[in-house]
Amino acid sequence: MTSTSTTSLDGRVAIVTGAGRGLGRAEALALADRGARVVVNDLGPRTSGAEDPAAEVVAEIRSRGGDALVHHGDVADLAVAGGLLEAAVTTYGGLDALVNNAGIVRDRMIFSMSEQEFDAVIRVHLRGHFCTLRHATAYWRDRAKATGGPVDARVINTASEAFLFGSPGQPNYAAAKGGIAALTLSVAGAMAKHGVRANVICPRARTQMTEGVFDPAVDPDDDPLDADHVATLVAYLASPASARLSGQVFVAYGGFVGLMDAPQLRAEFHAPGGRWDVDALAGALDAHLDETDPRRSFAAVSLMRVGAPS
Yes or no: say if 97 and 36 are a contact pair by the CB < 8 Å rule: yes
CA distances, 113 to each of 127, 180, 194, 285 (Å): 19, 21, 41, 33
Q: What DSSP assignment string belongs to 196-209?
A: EEEEEEEE----GG
- Residues 144/194, Cβ–Cβ less than 8 Å: yes
Rounded-to-integer distance, Cα 69 and Cα 85, Å: 12
Task: Report residue 64: phi and psi, to 5°.
Answer: -95, 10
CA distances from 126 to 26, 107, 136, 174, 281 (A): 21, 16, 16, 11, 37
DSSP letters, 126-173, are: IIHHHHHHHHHHHHHHHHHHHHTS---EEEEEE--HHHHHT-TT-HHH
E-strand ranges in 1-94 read 13-16, 37-42, 67-72
The candidate with the shortest Cα–Cα distance to 132, out of 194, 73, 182, is 73
Contact 40, 16 (CB under 8 A): yes
Question: How many CB atoms within 10 Å of residue 259?
Answer: 11
Q: Catalogue the active-site residues.
A: 160, 173, 177
